[in-house]
Amino acid sequence: MDQQPPPVTIPVSGTDIVRRIERLNDIGIALSAERNVNRLLEIILLGAKELTNADAGTMYSVTDHHTLKFEILRTDSLGIAMGGTTGIPINFPELPLYKNGQPNLQMIAAFSALQRTTVNIPDAYEAEGFDFSGTRAFDQRTHYRSKSFLTVPLKNHENEIIGVLQLINAKDANTQEIVAFSEEYQKLAESLASQAAIALTNQKLISDLKALFESFIQAIASAIDDKSPYTGGHCHRVPVLAEMLGQAVNDCEEGPIKELRFSDEQMYELKIAAWLHDCGKVVTPTEVVDKGTKLETIFDRIHLIDTRFEVLKRDVEIAFLKEKLAALQNRVPPEIIRVMEEEFHAELTRIDADREFLRETNIGGEFMSPQRQDRVRAIARRRFVDANGQERPFLSDNEVYNLNIPKGTITPEERQIINNHVSATIKMLDAIPFPKHLKQVPEIAGGHHEQINGQGYPKGLTGDQMSIQARMVAIADVFEALTARDRPYKKGKTLSSSLQILGFMKKDGHIDPDLFKLFIDKKVYLEYAQEYLSPEQIDEVNPEKIPGYVP
């Protein structure tokens, strides 16, 4: 590459340099505080333009496929502002660092990256060794005159090139004439590039750690998903619903919640807590989590009872045939034999009816009457002969206990095992050294089964002892469970039915009344339903008929 002649510059006063060094320090402080990558890039480029009094500039990032990608572009005199926080995409093709396997040393930005050096060109049209055909074409289209170029590579802490800062057309502070970038300005730009590289690297490290953290969290949810397909979807949907409710809080402009606003960090904390709210289920036995019928353990014991019914019918038939044979041998009148046959068939009918009754009972439901429970006990008192010839009660005590579960398919002991997942969640999360902005994750995640009236679990907290985020996750948890279509023991409820149950829970002091009202007012339920519910579940909702709701 030909050596470029020294740039011809207008001298910079000492006072001006001091002022710009002070400004460099200010920019450095701003870089260390910024967390948004787009704003960070803008601070770097705009700061460099200000320090060097440049009319235009471009920030490139080095990609994994060995190109320079346009990240942000500014040209003041043409009113061009693209990339960064503008929302205007830069559609220019990426600059290759290599062509046909050879280093691309003709493009100044690629040269600076590959040679790891600053390039200062007084006039692009007079420079030799670089391809400025693209620059000339741009100038011709826009009637611009690209003249002085200052191109600086950005090196990270491992001495890797992560980007390139390019400044164009330095202006004399007094005359606004386009001049070369002075040696002082070059040093300022290089100093800023060094600080910028550190800030960008730190931001990437933070971003990578964040991605790793979120991937780990989602891996936990996937593990629960693999363990139980009936709750895995729940772990993925509750965070969505919680974030929808959080956004509704931020959008609220009236009522007791209108002053409440969640920052980006608080919304992120809410999302993470919602993802982790059921992580304790990894310790819950699968046969309890997935218990779809009352008699299910590792398998559904209703099939054993079916076999007993077949044995019972066999014994009844054998007894009938013996009795009938004896009657025929003793010349019993035909009308008595007919009565015997009628009683035999009636008994078979009763047996089949009892079997069907137990099959239905085994499925579970919202309520089992005392009369149906008495019938289970009556069936249990039947006797049958097992494979060893021993006479036994038709149903064991454990089978009677499970079949008489009044609601659902879970016994109180199994419910306690399931409920223990919250304590396990809190124990697991308390052991994690969350950073400051995620310190409330254990409390939020561990409070989703607490109730406003203090009758929830595991700690029996009242509403004023719970964070607003925990109360939000509680509503998201309940509504998702009501509408879920993948539970083994029920179908997903319709919107109107789910909101009716939610309304009764509000009236009974189970959920936060203000969040409940917001959930209805902002139609969070409908936003969620349109994405996650089946069409047949999305029925018409009349808010006036929702219990506990006051418009």
Assigned domain for 151 exists: yes
Q: In percent, how much of the chain has pLDDT > 70? A: 91
Q: Strands, DSSP E only, in 349-492?
A: 383-385, 391-393
For 505, residues 6+ apart whose C-beta sits below 8 A from its C-beta are: 478, 511
Q: SS3 for 85-105, per residue? A: HHCCCCCCCCEECEECCEECC
Domain contains 288: no
Question: Which amino acid does the sequence have at 299?
Answer: F
How far is Cα 156 from Cα 67, in angstroms, rounded to an integer?
Answer: 17
pLDDT in tens, 123-168: 999 998 899 998 999 999 999 999 999 999 999 878 889 899 999 9
Q: Which residues sit opposite 119 in a β-bridge?
A: 151
- Say how far apart CA 395 and CA 399 lie, in whole Å: 6
pLDDT band at 200 (very low <50, low <70, confident <90, very high): confident
Domain boundary residue among 393, 409, 425?
A: 409
- Bridge partners (DSSP) of residue 99 are 102
Q: Which of 48, 511, 512, 84 is nearest to 260 (CA)?
A: 512
Backbone phi, then psi, for 393, in 5-degree steps?
Answer: -60, 145
Phi and psi dihedrals of 83, rounded to 5?
A: 75, -175
Query: For residue 34, what pLDDT is reported?
Result: 66
Q: How far apart are CA 348 and CA 337, in angstroms?
A: 17
Q: What is residue 175's DSSP assignment? A: T
Cβ partners under 8 Å of residue 94, min gap 6: 63, 67, 68, 69, 70
Same-domain check for residues 308 and 278:
no
Q: Across residues 297-325, what is the average pLDDT?
A: 86
Q: How far apart are CA 443 and CA 425, in angstroms?
A: 10
What CA–CA distance (Å, rounded) separates 115 from 112? 5
In a domain, 144, yes or no: yes
pLDDT of 449 above 70: yes
Q: How confident is the model at residue 2 (pLDDT cuts 50, 70, 90)?
A: very low
CATH number at residue 460: 1.10.3210.10
Q: Clarify whether residues 196 and 76 are in a common domain.
A: yes
Reported as half-sphere exposure (CB side, CA atoms, 13 A), residue 150 has a value of 31
User: In whole angstroms, what is the distance from residue 13 CA to residue 351 CA?
Assistant: 107
Quickly state the pLDDT bin for 1 (edges 50, 70, 90): very low
State the CB neighbour count (10 A cutoff) for residue 428.
Answer: 18
List phi, psi (to 5°) of 149. Answer: -125, 135
Please tell me the number of Cα atoms within 13 Å of 248 on its side-chain side: 25
Which residues are registered as beta bridge partners of 171?
178
Which residues have CB under 8 Å from 133's CB, separation 6+?
Answer: none
The tokens of 209 are what? 């750690």
Q: Which residue stretches of 34-102 are H helix?
A: 37-52
- Is 426 within the bounds of a domain? no
Instruction: Give Cα 495 distance to the centre of its chain.
Output: 23
Q: Are residues 308 and 403 in the same domain?
A: yes
Q: Looking at the predicted structure, is the pLDDT value of residue 298 above 80?
A: no
Contact predicate 237/436, CB 8 Å: no
Please check the confidence at residue 465 and state whether its pLDDT lies above 50.
yes
Global model pTM greater than 0.75: no
Count of C-beta atoms within a 10 Å radius of residue 262: 18
- Are 257 and 401 in a shared domain? no
The arithmetic mean of pLDDT across residues 454-465, rounded, is 92
Q: Are residues 464 and 511 in the same domain?
A: yes
pLDDT score recorded for residue 415? 81
448 lies in the same domain as 405: no
Residue 512 inside a domain? The answer is yes
Question: What values do phi and psi take at 293, rounded to 5?
Answer: -130, 165
Residues 344, 325: contact at Cβ < 8 Å? no
Q: Which residue's structure tokens are 């009677």?
A: 400
Answer yes or no: are the C-beta atoms of 382 and 305 closer than 8 Å.
Answer: no
Q: Rg of the chain over CA atoms, in angstroms?
A: 37
**Domains of the chain: total:** 3
| Terminal-residue alpha carbon distance, the chain | 76
State the pLDDT at residue 363.
86
Segment 503-548, tens digit of pLDDT = 999 999 999 999 999 999 999 999 999 999 999 999 999 999 999 9
Provide the pLDDT for residue 5: 45
Judge whether 427 lies within some domain: no
Residue 143 tokens, joined: 């009637």
Residue 6: inside a domain? no
pLDDT band per the 50, 70, 90 thresholds, residue 3: very low
Query: How many whole angstroms separate alpha carbon 29 and alpha carbon 84?
Result: 20
Considering the domain architecture, whether residues 163 and 28 belong to the same structural domain is answered as yes
What's the pLDDT band for 7 if we cut at 50, 70, 90?
very low
Residue 425 to residue 432: CA distance in whole angstroms:
11
CA 292, CA 301: separation in Å to the nearest integer?
Answer: 12
> Is the preceding peptide bond at 458 cis, omega within 30 degrees of 0?
yes
Strand ranges (DSSP E) for 209-299? none
∠ CA(208), CA(212), CA(214), 5° rounding? 115
Q: Are residues 307 and 277 part of one domain?
A: no
pLDDT per position as a tens digit, 320-343: 999 989 988 988 898 998 999 999
Name the token pair of 279: 């992580």
Are 236 and 221 within 8 A, CB to CB? yes
Domain holding 38, by residue range, is 14-205
| Residues 6+ positions from 516 with CB-CB distance below 8 Å | 475, 502, 503, 506, 548, 549
Looking at the fold, whether 79 and 152 belong to one and the same domain comes out as yes
The average pLDDT across 21-32 equals 69
- Statement to judge: residues 324 and 274 lie in one domain: no
Q: What is the pLDDT of residue 16?
A: 64
121 and 80 in a single domain? The answer is yes
Cα separation, 168 vs 115, in Å, equals 20
If asked whether residues 127 and 191 sit together in one domain, one would say yes
Domain final position from 392, 409, 426: 409
Sign of CA pseudo-dihedral 228, 229, 234, 237: positive
Q: What's the rounded Cα separation, in Å, for the pair 366 and 498? A: 14
Boundary residue ending a domain (376, 409, 442):
409
- 429 in a structural domain: no
Residues 6+ apart with CB under 8 A from 302: 293, 295, 358, 359, 362
> CATH no. for residue 124?
3.30.450.40
> What's the chain's average pLDDT?
87
Query: In this structure, what token pair is assigned to residue 435?
Result: 């950073």
